[in-house]
Amino acid sequence: MSRKISPSDLKKLNSKKGLLALLSKEPLSVDKALRYVDYKKRLIKLQIELIRMQTWAIKNNERIIVVFQGRDAAGKGGAIRRITERINPRHMRIVALPKPTEDENSQWYFQRYVEQFPKAGEMVFFDRSWYNRAVVEPVNGFCTQEEYEIFMNQVNDFERMILESGIHLVKIYMSISKKEQAKRFADIKSDPLKQWKMTKLDEKAQYLWEQYTEYKNAMFEKTNTTISPWKIIRANRKTEARVNVINHVLKSIPYDKDLEI
């Protein structure tokens, strides 16, 4: 039985966004197209609020850090792009640090992250952060057990100092299923425009799934504190996850919602 399309649905589909959503993906799906149009409308409204929040931060010399963690292909980068694509690029940075140098390995572990912290009126988005040492590094043998334990003993005090210095800290973990991760990896491998995203770590992610889960759970148990909680975003559906991420960021920052922009 075919889906009955209401006049309001027809109006959505007859728009530029609706036609693009309807024709750009196969197989053709009216339901998916309508969901996409609704998502784009919600996204625009949320991005306006992000501009308002950033304007408040600039005017009041506020400093904001948003940390993104999650399994490989969980959608961290996509969520960050939707947050940052409309705000003022001069007052925000996206930080995705590479493998530490020899000099950085000789420093206090948190030092290279502190060097990326925001100045007054700035927002910094960490696409992975110091929490690499909580999960990725021990699973892949990139740190010793002693280094892992030192990190776990220090991280809550480190974040307390961040907050006491007046920086707003938001921690987001994007969660996907093993099946969805496998599906996304297959999509990346088959798309010439995405193949560069696949790393050696990604190749091992499915095999090491349970080890990642073990360390992830230990991270939550230790670092999901009252003053610096984690927000877990279910990310199997990308559009829904992006909306939920932005909503959480907006709810976490006490900006002036009546500020004119």
What element of type H or E holds 32?
A: helix 30-59
pLDDT at position 33 is: 77
Strand pairing partners for 233?
174
pLDDT at 21 over 90: no
Structural domain boundaries, residue 185: 61-246
Q: Report if residue 127 sits inside a domain.
A: yes
Is the previous residue joined to 27 through a cis bond, with omega within 30 degrees of 0?
yes
Q: What are 66-97's pLDDT values in tens digits?
A: 999 999 999 999 999 999 999 999 999 999 99
Token representation of residue 258: 């009546």
pLDDT at 10 over 60: no
Q: How distant, in Å, are the alpha carbons of 34, 94, 131, 133, 201 from that of 147?
A: 50, 27, 13, 8, 20
pLDDT at position 28 is: 54
Q: Report if residue 139 sits inside a domain.
A: yes
Q: What are 199-239's pLDDT values in tens digits?
A: 999 999 999 999 999 999 999 999 999 999 999 999 999 99
Q: Report if residue 38 sits inside a domain.
A: no
| Cα–Cα distance for residue pair 3/224, rounded to 1 Å | 44
Q: CATH code at 95?
A: 3.40.50.300
pLDDT at 1 over 50: no
Contact (Cβ atoms closer than 8 angstroms) between residue 156 and residue 225: yes
Q: Report if residue 91 sits inside a domain.
A: yes
Question: Which of 245, 255, 197 has the alpha carbon at shortest distance from 81?
Answer: 245
Q: CB count, 10 Å around CB of 103?
A: 8
Q: Report if residue 52 sits inside a domain.
A: no
Q: How confident is the model at residue 18 (pLDDT cuts 50, 70, 90)?
A: low
Q: What are 133-173's pLDDT values in tens digits?
A: 999 999 999 999 999 999 999 999 999 999 999 999 999 99
| Cα–Cα distance for residue pair 213/110, rounded to 1 Å | 24
Q: Report if residue 50 sits inside a domain.
A: no
Total structural domains in the chain? 1
pLDDT at 27 over 80: no
Q: Report if residue 154 sits inside a domain.
A: yes
pLDDT at position 168 is: 98
Contact (Cβ atoms closer than 8 angstroms) between residue 30 and residue 5: yes
Q: What are 46-73's pLDDT values in tens digits?
A: 999 999 999 999 999 999 999 999 999 9
Question: Which of 163, 176, 156 has the alpha carbon at shortest distance from 79?
Answer: 176
Q: Report if residue 36 sits inside a domain.
A: no
Average pLDDT in the 112-134 region? 98
Query: How large a percentage of the chain has pLDDT more than 90?
Result: 85
